[in-house]
Structure 1
Amino acid sequence: MGFTALVEEYRGGVLENVHYGAICVVDEKGSAVHKAGNPEHITFLRSAAKPFQAIPAMKRRIPDVYGLTGQEAALFAASHRGEAFHIEALESMYRKIGISEDILRCGASYPLNEDARAERYRAHEPKRRIFHNCSGKHAGLIALSKHMGWDMRTYYEPDHPVHREILETVAYFAEVPKEKIPRGIDGCGLPIFALPLRKIALSYLKLACPDLIGDADTRDAAAAIAKLMNEYPDMIADTKFVCSALLRDANLVAKGGAKGVYAIGLRKERLGVALKVSDGAEHVWPCIIASILERLGYGNRETIERLYALAPNTIVNDAGTEVGMRRAVFEWQA
Structure 2
Amino acid sequence: MEDKIDALCVNTIRMLSVDAVEKAKSGHPGAPMGLAAVAYVLWTRFLKHNPQNPSWPDRDRFVLSAGHGSMLLYSMLHLTGYKDISLEQIKQFRQWGSRTPGHPERELAAGVEVTTGPLGQGFGNGVGMAIAEAYLAARYNRPGFAMIDHFTYAIVSDGDLMEGVAAEAASMAGHLKLGKLIYLYDNNRISLAASTDLTFTEDVAKRFAAYGWHTQTVEDGNDLNAVEQALSAARSDTTRPSLISVRTNIGYGSPGKQGTFEAHGSPLGPEETKLTKQKLGWPLDQPFHLPEEALARFRGSLSQGQKAEAEWNERLAAYAKNFPDLAKELEQVMRGELPKDWDAAIPEFPA
Query: How does the TM-score come out when normalised to structure 2?
Result: 0.27
Q: Which has the higher strand share?
A: 1
Rg (Cα) greater in structure: 2
The two structures have a TM-score, normalised by structure 1, of: 0.28
Structure with more helix by fraction? 2
